[in-house]
Structure formats: structure tokens, C-alpha cells
Chain A
């Protein structure tokens, strides 16, 4: 009921291409979905987030598309750069009651120059 699933497990794209990372969830009570970016040897850091009342959130080259009916969301990274190579975690969060974040297993992105 509280699982968050991510696909693919790993992804390789060429510099300049658009990388698409997918996420799905089961619990319809989740209402806030942040994406965290993690570089080797570091802790994850917030990249971008969306609330369930929205269907799209943009921040520069990063865009979240959200489909509440299908309980799916995706992170699009346009004009991918080698510096975007990292692991990306999709997370889900209740806004009332228990405030813990549930994370997916992550997608390891590699951008080749």
C-alpha cells in the first residue's frame, strides 16, 4: 500500500537527449511527490517536487508530469548534460498524519558526452 516503484533501474542517454524517468505509487492518499538527486558519496538532495493538485511542474531543464488517475509520474530531463549523471529517487509523502517520505529504489542515470 505504501510502495513507490521506479523504472528503469538504470538509463544511459547521450548528451543533449531527453532522459525520462518513471515512477508509480499505490496509495492514493499520497499527495506530495519530490524527486531527489544523489551523486556518489553524497546524500540525496531535493531536485524538484509536485503536489497532486498539479499535473506538471517545471524548473529549468527538469519537468515532472503527473497523472493522478493512473498514479504515475515521470521526470523529464531535457538537454541532458554529463553533470546530470546521478541516481534519482522518486518519493511520496502524506500531507497529514504521518509525515514520513516513502522512496523508490532509484534510477541510475548516465549521460555520455
Chain B
């Protein structure tokens, strides 16, 4: 049983370019979460989906970040006009369901470096 799969593992972009990160949740899991990890801030919540519907995107920088979940096996996080401060590890997690039985299973992350 494969875990959460994130691609690419590493991405380097120039300032102003676009970056798209992909996440394949564990099969059968109904919730998908996106977090951004930095040394200073730790794990910052970005957004989450339940049964493919966006539920809470309160952590997303509104102007340049967007997330979609077009089907139950795939979610994307898109960052337009990337800036150096966007450099971080972006983590995707899925859970069987929400609530306190909703253990998060994280992928290994996508490390974004903006030059």
C-alpha cells in the first residue's frame, strides 16, 4: 500500500516563474491537506479538501497560490510568479476521514527553491 506520493521532490525556479506541485493521496482517503514547512515557521496550514471539495483555504496567500483537487486521486498546488520567500518544503497529507480518527499521513514533501 503506497503512501502519499508527492512530485517533484525538488524544484528550482527563477523569481517570477510558475511552480506546480502534485500530490497523490492514499487510495480511499477522503481528506487532503497541504502544509508549508520552513525552519522558522514550522508547519503552516495552507488548505484542505474533503471528498474533493475545498473546505478551508485560510492559509493560502490569495494572490499567487491556488490548489485544486480535480479527482480523488490527485491534488495540485500552483504558485504563480514565485518569490524567494516561497522557498520551503510543501507537504501534502491525506487522512481516511476528518475528526480525531483522521490521522494525517504525510508525503515526503516537495522542496521548492526560488532563486
Q: How far is the CA of A101 from the CA of B108 in the complex (A)?
A: 18
For residue A1, CB closer than 8 A to chain B, the reply is no
For residue A61, CB closer than 8 A to chain B, the reply is no
Q: How far is the CA of A104 from the CA of B55 in the complex (A)?
A: 22
Interface size class on chain B is 20 to 34
Beyond known contacts A34-B104, A99-B50: 15 more, CB 8 A cutoff: A32-B100, A36-B106, A41-B108, A43-B106, A45-B105, A49-B100, A99-B31, A99-B99, A100-B33, A100-B55, A101-B33, A103-B42, A103-B44, A104-B43, A105-B43
Can you give 21 contacting A-B residue pairs, CB < 8 Å? A36-B104, A42-B108, A43-B105, A43-B108, A44-B43, A44-B104, A45-B105, A45-B106, A46-B103, A51-B100, A95-B100, A98-B55, A99-B31, A99-B48, A99-B50, A100-B45, A100-B56, A101-B104, A103-B43, A104-B42, A106-B42
